[in-house]
A and B are shown apart, each in its own frame.
Chain A
Amino acid sequence: MSPRILAIDDTEHLRTVIRLTLEYKKYEVKLAADGVEGLEAARAGAFDLIICDIEMPRMGGVEFVTQYRAEFGPATPIIMLTAEGDEKIKAARAAGATDALAKPFEPMQLFAAIDRHLKERV
């Protein structure tokens, strides 16, 4: 069974690129536009890995990670997508984010990060 990945980003185009990228690896992808939608998706079904933007309206990445960890524990790796030099990445890591990638992301880098964390998880 292919791994299930939840990708959360408020930019429509970035969600599309993430979907196209992950579909190449035949991951099962679920998209959400902000932290609120992300939590709803997580409550509706389990994921093997989560990719999450930091700056988003309604509920940003730091708050999402905090709430997600409180509800679902530390097991699922969360890769943050962040603009370079964003101070909030520290807060996201403190809240329980596993890794961070700079935006714009390079698909090869994303694949490498996903592979690494999925393996570590197993």
Chain B
Amino acid sequence: MTGNKLLVELPQTADRVRTGVPGLDEILGGGLLRQRVALLKGGPGAGKTTLALQMLVAGATQYDEPGILLTFEQVPSQLFADAAAMGWDLKALHDDYRLRVMFIEPDEVLDNPGRQANRLLVNVAELAEDHGSRRLVIDSLSHLGSILSKDEARAAFIKFMLELKALGLTPIGTAEYLPETGIGGIDAYLVDTLILLERDAERSRRTLEVVKSRGHYHIAGKHPFEIGADGVVVYPHSYPAAAEANAEPAPSPAIPLSSGVPGLDEMLGGGYVPGSTILVAGLSGTFKSVLAAHFLASGAPSTGLWISFQESAADLARSFAGHGIAFADSRIEVFEALTGRDPVQKILSAADDLITGRGIQRVVIDSLNDLAAGLTGEERAEAVRWFLRRLHARGVTVLITQRLARVTGRNPLSEIDHAELADTIIYLGLVEIESRLEKVISVLKHRGGPVAGDLRSIHATNSGLVVSDRFLGVSGVLGGVALGHRKAQIEEIFQPLFFVRDFLKLAGDPGLDPEQRERMLRDMGGETDRVIGLLGRYFDQPQKNNEPKKEARP
């Protein structure tokens, strides 16, 4: 059976019956209550019988607790064949008395339900005493449904269940879920633990919910589960407080992590904060993924992990090769979560196993949108928060990409989902300059560093992304005070020229103090350099040490 490493080890206590179903014991706070009645309810095909059978098989094979299956519905050959499909050799377990299968009729349960008078109870008692049977499944109680509506039969049934408990057994029943009676119905108050199984055929999604758990802790809500080759695996949507998950995040070393793009590192005051979450949000085709790949590649020789929902490892390697990023050389591993069908908890759990096992320190999730498919906003936030808590506790730095649907308006933050999850938010957008779309980058939020808030141009070269100096002629675009771009460009170029022209005239004054003339000449030189730098960038000309001077010349 599949182990589930992410779940904490719970103490094995005598009063709990470990179901052995991955994920379920954690949801139940350790397992079912011993010698109390549990009921699994669900519609046809919800997985009730499989789940109940798995509890018996686990008891027999893992916990030294033999079991008994009382079934009204199946003929032996079919039952054994179905179990064999899950890898369970029911025939061998039956022959060994570790899992006895008994085919019964309703009156066998209800007739003379005293331990001495009822033939079925006599047999069960023998098994319990001679072979140590501890678990008993009745599949399904719905066969008793109409009979149980009669007071007499109901009293007989209660007596039957009491007798089972007195024999040291933990009874587990299955029952059809009838929408018209909800989850209540006749049996609801006879049981101590009620588990509801649901199947959403449209979304190919199964969920399990503990709707009643008398006297014991459980994790509320609907938890996704799957029935695979190893049986049922449940993915709790939130997790008991593991020491590790609750631990303070590992202290961040002072040295920032390079984003792999020097111009961006400068905007970030050195780079990303180790152990933080970075959200890279932008329209399609604005280099979100390339920026993410740079981050992983710059961590080499350490391995980085890329969690991909849309593209295969081969596709990614091909597309990044064009940007000068070689996945293989850069030791980037791709975790393909391509099916779109796996519950997000399963994907994150498996990724977490890999990250922990390999000691990975840099992770990319591409993208938040795909991770969210089929989840509500809150479910997604909860799953991602859990994942981030675990990774941050180990000092892992996580970069998440997010596709934005449209060009942002005044406030790009308002377009970004789950901004609260991120320590650093990078916005990639498009700005129209003279009928041409330019790609721009801005840091909207950055933990542990000042945010310049300016907009810079970003473009691709065959050796990677390049972030240029402050975007030529455009200011205030993100703040919603976009100037006319053309006018702004004219102003940026003509202002130094006007200055130089007028100052040349003034410097010609013979009465000018020589010291002042020298200062004016230096200022004119600075402004001339600035124009050359701007024009050089505008026309893609190489710079010959004529970058515009930074401000504050003496």
- Interface positions of A (Cβ within 8 A of B): 10-17, 20-21, 24, 55-57, 60, 83-84, 103-108
Supplied contacts A20-B499, A108-B502, 14 more A-B pairs, CB within 8 Å:
A11-B475, A12-B551, A16-B551, A17-B495, A17-B496, A83-B484, A103-B495, A104-B494, A104-B495, A105-B495, A107-B498, A107-B499, A107-B506, A108-B505
Q: How many contacting A-B pairs (Cβ < 8 A)?
A: 62
Give, as a whole number of angstroms, the nearest-CB distance from A16 to chain B: 5
Kindly identify which residue among A13, A56, A103 contacts B530, using a CB–CB cutoff of 8 Å: A13
Shortest beta-carbon distance from A62 to chain B in Å: 13
CB of B490 within 8 A of chain A? Answer: yes
Say how far A81's CB is from chain B's closest CB, in angstroms.
10
A103 touches B499 (CB 8 A): no
Contact A83 B483 (CB under 8 A): yes
B492 touches A (CB below 8 Å): yes
Question: How distant is the Cα of A5 from the Cα of B39 in the complex, in angstroms?
Answer: 83
For the complex, give the distance between the alpha carbons of A16 and B551 in Å: 7
Indicate which residue in B481, B494, B503 contacts A55 across the interface (CB closer than 8 Å).
Answer: B481
- Bound: A17/B496 CA distance, A: 7
Contacts of B552 on A, CB cut-off 8 Å? 16
A103 to B285, CA, bound (A): 36
| Residue on B nearest A60 in the bound complex, by CB | B481
Contact between B476 and A10, CB atoms less than 8 A apart:
yes
Residues in chain B near residue A83, CB distance under 8 A: 483-484, 487, 491
Please provide the chain B residues from 191 to 229 with a CB less than 8 Å away from any CB of chain A in the complex. Answer: none
B181 at the interface (CB under 8 A from A): no
> Across the interface, do A104 and B490 meet the contact criterion of CB distance under 8 Å?
yes
- Is there contact, CB below 8 Å, between A107 and B502? yes
Instruction: Check if A55 sits within 8 Å of B483, measured CB to CB.
Output: yes
Complex interface bits, B539-552 against A, C-beta within 8 A gives 1, otherwise 0: 00000000010011
Most chain B CB neighbours (cut-off 10 Å) among A14, A60, A83, A104: A104
Q: Are A13 and B492 in contact (CB under 8 A)?
A: yes
Contacts of B476 in A (CB 8 A): 10, 55-57
Q: Is A24 a contact partner of B495 (Cβ separation < 8 A)?
A: no
Contacts of A24 in B (CB 8 A): 503, 506, 516, 520
Whether A56 lies near B494 (C-beta < 8 A) is no
Residues of A within 8 A of B527 (CB): 17
Tell me the bound Cα distance from A103 to B497 in angstroms. 12
Docked complex Cα distance between A11 and B496 (Å)? 13
Q: Which residue of A lies closest to B484 (CB)?
A: A83
Q: How far is the CA of A94 from the CA of B490 in the complex (A)?
A: 28
A106 touches B520 (CB 8 A): no
Q: Are A17 and B499 in contact (CB under 8 A)?
A: yes
CB distance from A112 to the nearest CB of B (A): 11
Instruction: With CB as the reference atom, state the residue of chain B lying closest to A108.
Output: B502
| Least Cβ–Cβ distance between A87 and chain B, in angstroms | 12
Asked if B187 is at the interface (CB within 8 A of a chain A CB), the reply is no
Query: B497 CB to closest chain A CB, in angstroms?
Result: 8
Interface bits B454-493 vs A (CB < 8 Å: 1, else 0): 0000000000000000000001100101011001001110
- Taking the complex as formed, is B333 at the interface, i.e. its CB lies under 8 A from any CB of chain A? no
Q: Is the CB of A104 within 8 A of B498?
A: yes
Q: Closest CB of chain B to A2's CB: distance in Å?
A: 14
Contact, CB under 8 Å: A105 / B498 = yes
Residue B523 CB within 8 A of the other chain: yes
A104 close to B520 (CB less than 8 A): no
In the bound complex, CA of A104 to CA of B520 (Å): 19
Q: Is the CB of B475 within 8 A of A107?
A: no
**Beyond A105-B498, A106-B502, A107-B502, is A20–B523 a contact (Cβ under 8 Å)?**
yes
Q: Within 8 Å CB of A105, what residues of B?
A: 495, 498
Chain B residues with CB under 8 Å of A20's CB are: 499, 523, 553
29 pairs, A vs B, C-beta closer than 8 Å? A11-B475, A13-B492, A13-B495, A13-B496, A13-B530, A13-B548, A14-B495, A17-B495, A17-B496, A20-B523, A20-B553, A21-B499, A24-B503, A24-B506, A24-B520, A55-B483, A56-B481, A57-B481, A83-B487, A103-B491, A104-B490, A104-B494, A104-B495, A105-B498, A106-B501, A107-B498, A107-B499, A108-B502, A108-B505
